[in-house]
Amino acid sequence: MPSGVLERPLVRRLAALLPVALLAALTAQQAFADGRALVLDARAAGLAAAAVALVLRAPFLLVVAAAVVVTAGVRALGG
């Protein structure tokens, strides 16, 4: 591939955003899929708790802790 193509602003922006998009897709697949079926279980609740903590601009460790605590709580309650 010619180096001039890789230096274009659009290609550079896409290369910067591609890992984020792939990670988001992997997270969604792991949280909401069980084989070939969509599921809403404790993982979804934990992901929602992490999203709320991120919106509130919590530190990363608090985001992870919120996800863990909510997921464990939902599983303990039978979900």
pLDDT digits (tens, 9 = 90+) for 27-54: 889 888 888 888 888 999 999 999 999 9
In terms of DSSP H, where are the helices of the chain? 3-6, 9-32, 42-55, 60-76
Whole-structure pTM value: 0.70
Helices 9-32 & 42-55, crossing angle to 10 degrees? 140
What tokens does 55 get? 């919106």
What is the domain range of residue 38? Answer: 3-76
Distance CA 17, CA 24 (A): 11
> What's the total number of domains in the chain?
1
Asked whether residue 21 carries a pLDDT value surpassing 90, the answer given is yes
